[in-house]
Structure 1
Amino acid sequence: MSTRESWARSPAGPADTGTEESAARAALVPEGAGDRLVRAAPLLVLLQICSLQAGSAVAKTTYDRLEPTAMAGLRLGFAALVTAAVVRPAVHRLSARQWGAAGALGLVFAANNLTFFQAIERLPLGVASTVELLGPLLLAVALSRRPAHLAAGLLALAGVLLLGAPGGHVPLAGLGFGLAAAGCRAAYVGLSKRVGRLFPDFTGLSVALLVGAVVLVPVAALADGDAVVRRPGLLLPGLAVALLSSLLPYALDMTVLRRIDARAFGVLLGLGPAVGAGIGFLALHEPLSARQAVAVALVVAAALWSFGGGHGRRTGPEEPPARSLREPDGGRSRRT
C-alpha cells in the first residue's frame, strides 16, 4: 500500500485532535516503532547536528565569492526542488489547516536561513550555533515544570550573555542576527512538530520548503544573483548545502518530533555548539577565545543537564488510542 493510500485509509482521530493529525500518526508510525524511535532520538539528532554544521561550513567557504543571502536562497531553493521531485506533493488535496501549518513553517524556513547565514558571516560557527541554540533551549525550559530545567535554562542564558558582555569581541550585528535565528529556531521546533502531526509523509515538509523558497529566492537573486550567473560553479556547493543543511536535518527533525516532545528535542540540540565549534576549527580554522569556549561549554552543559532529567518522554495527549479501521468515526455515530 502506498503512503498516500495509507493516509486515505487511516482511521480518524478524536474530535479534539483533528483527523489530519490522527491519520498522520496511524499511517506513519507502526505499532512498536515509536518506542524504538524514542530510543534512537539522540543518535538521529546528533546526525542532524553534524549534517547541519557541515553544511554551514560549506556555505561559509563560499562567502568570499557569494553573499550569504544568495547562498541562503540557493540552499532553500535546491532543497525545495529536490524535495518536491521526490515527494510530489498533491497540494490540491490539502486542508486549510495543513496549508496554514506548512505555510507558517515555510516562512520560518526563509527567516531562519537568512538570519543564520548572516550570523555565521560575522561570528565563528561555534559561537553562532551557541546563540541560535538559545531559542529552542529556552522553549524547552518554558515547556518544563521542573526546577532543574529552569536552572539549566539560566545556565545557558548565562553562557550567551558571556558572549555578548563587554570585552567579548563579538560583533553586535552578528549577535543580533544570531538572536533572530534563535527566535526562528524556537518557532521551527513547534511548527515542525505541528506539521509532522498533520501530514502522514513528507508532503508538509515539501510544501513548507516551496513556500520558503518562493519568499527567499527572489530576495537572494536581488542580493547577489549576478555572482551565480558569473560563476555557475557555485551551484554545486549550493546543492551540497541544501542536502546537508536542509534536506537531511529537516527530515530527521520531523521524524523525531513526531515521537518526542519539543522540550526533549530542544535540549537534544545542545550538542550543536560543540559540534559547530569543532567543525569550525577543523574546516574553517576558527579557534575560539577562552571566553567563547567557556560560553559554549556552559550552553552545552545546560542542555545535557536538562536532557538528563527527562529522557525524551512522549506526551500523553499526543497519542490517542488506536481505532478500528472498520469504524472510520471511531464508533461515534453509534453512540450519538
Structure 2
Amino acid sequence: MSSTPAPAATSASVGSLMAFAAMGCVQLGLAASIGLAGSLGSEGVAWLRLAWAAVILVAIARPWRMRFTRATLGVCALLGLATAGMTLAFMKAVETIPLGTASALEFMGPLAVAIVQGRGAGRWWALVAAAGVLGLTEPWHGAADLAGVLFALAGAGCWALYVLLTQRAGDAVDGIGALAISMPVAALAATLVVGPEVIGRMDVQVLAIGLALALLLPVIPFSLELLALRRLTTAAFGTLMCLEPAIAMVVGFIFLQQVPRPAAIAGIVLVIVAGIGATRTGRRDPAKLSPTAQDPAATAAAAAQSIR
C-alpha cells in the first residue's frame, strides 16, 4: 500500500530546498561579482551592489509607511554601517583568497555570537572553529594571503555586529523595514568611502549588470529565505545556513577554478561542524523574543544573506 508524505515533512523538505537554492544564488552572485571586480574593482562592485540593494529594498518595504522610534532608527543606522563594512571587507578578501576560504573565515562572526550566547559545553565549539581557521589559513607555511585573511576577519567582526544589531532591530521592527533603513545608510557610507573612485567608472552597461547582480543577491535569496522560514524552525534553518562555506567552496571550484587544498577542505568541514553545534546550543530564550530574533545563526543567515 502506497503512502503519501506527511504535510509537515513535505513542507520541511520544500523549505530545505528553498534554503539551499538561496545559498546557491548568493554564492553564484558572489562569483559573478568577483568576475566583475576585474574591471570595476572590488570596491566598485561592493558599492554598486549596496546602491542597487538600497533602491530595491526601499521600493519593496516602503519605510515611509512605517513608524520608527529614535532609538530604532539609531540601531538601523548602526546596522547600515556594519553592513557596509561587511560587504566592502568581503569583496576585498576574495580578491586574494578563495571564495570558500573567505566565506568560512567571515562565518566566524555569527559563529562567535552563537558560541558566546551558548550554554555550558556549547562554548567548546570555539575550539573546533579555531582548528578550522588553522586549516583554512595554514600559518605554518603561509598558504593564505595575509591581507585577504585580515579583510575576511574584519568582515567577520562586522558580521558579528550585524547579527547583534539585527537581533535588536528585529525585536523592535519588522526585519524588512529595518533593512529598508539600514541599506540606504550602508550605500551612503560606501559612497563616502569609495564613491569618488568608482562613480566615474560607471556606464549604462555596468549599471545594468549591477542591477542583475542585485536581483541575484538580495531579491531572489531573500524571498526564498522568507518562504523557507515559514516551513522550517529557526534552528533547522540556521543549521542549513552553516553549510554555506561548503557551497562557496564548490562554486569557487566550478566557476572560478579555485582548487581547495586538503587542509582548507578539513578547515571548512570543522567550521561547518562548529556552526551546527553552536547553532543548536546558542539560541536565545524564545519567551523573551519576537519570532524574527530567536536564533543568532538563523538571524545572521536570514538577514545578512540578502546583502552579502
Q: What SS is found at the alignment partner of 2:202?
A: helix
Kindly provide the CA deviation profile for residues 284-328 of structure 1, in whole angstroms up to 9, marking residues without a partner as x: 111111121111121112223444x459786221159xxxxxxxx
> Does structure 1 retain, via aligned residues, the 8 Å contact 2:82–2:161?
yes
Partner of 1:75: 49
C-alpha distance in 2 between matches for 1:242 and 1:270: 23
Which residue identity lines up with residue 304 of structure 1 in the other structure?
I
Structure 1 segment 27-106 matched on structure 2, within 5 A: 45-90=19-64, 93-106=67-80
TM-score w.r.t. the length of structure 1 is 0.73
Distance apart, 1:91 and its partner CA: 7.1
Note the C-alpha offset of 1:245: 2.7
Give the 3-state SS of the residue equivalent to 1:63 in structure 2: helix
Tell me how far 1:93 sits from its aligned partner.
3.8
Is 1:317 equivalent to 2:295 in the alignment?
Answer: no
For the 8 Å contact 1:273–1:300, the answer to whether it is kept is: yes
CA drift at 1:61: 0.9
Quick check: 1:195 aligned with 2:174? no
Superposed CA RMSD: 3.1
Q: Which has the larger radius of gyration?
A: 1
1:274 aligned partner, one-letter code: A
User: Which residue of structure 1 aligns with residue 134 of structure 2?
Assistant: 161
In the aligned structure 2, how far is the partner of 1:131 from the partner of 1:174?
Answer: 10
* Pairwise CA distance, 1:226: 2.6
1:198-240 CA distance string (max 9 Å, x none): 22462221111111111112433223333224xx322233223
Contact 2:170–2:290 under 8 Å retained in 1: no
Which amino acid counterpart does residue 79 of structure 2 have in structure 1?
L
How many residues align? The count is 279
Deviates more, 1:84-93 or 1:133-142: 84-93
Correspondence for 1:292: 264
> What percent of counterpart residues are identical?
31
AA paired with 1:150?
R
Which stretch of the first structure deviates more once superposed, 74-83 or 216-225? 216-225
- Residues 46 and 139 of structure 1, relative CA distance in 2, 3 Å threshold: farther
Pick aligned residue for 1:206 from 176, 180, 186? 180
Query: Residue by residue, what CA displacement relative to the aligned partner does 1:222-275 show, whole Å, maximum 9, x if unpaired?
Result: 23333224xx32223322322233345556778959x977x8876553211100
Q: Separation in 2 of the partners of 1:135 and 1:113?
A: 13
Structure 1 residue identity aligned to 2:200: D
CA distance in structure 2 between the partners assigned to 1:187 and 1:44 by the alignment: 26
| C-alpha deviation, 1:128, in angstroms | 0.3
Structure 2 residue runs of 5 or longer lacking an equivalent are 1-9, 292-308
SS at match of 2:258: coil
Matches of 2:199 and 2:13 in 1, distance apart? 44
- 2 CA distance for matches of 1:92 and 1:313? 27
* Corresponding residue of 2:303: none
What does the per-residue CA deviation read over 1:153-182, in whole Å, with 9 as the maximum and x for residues that have no partner? 211111112333121410100000000011
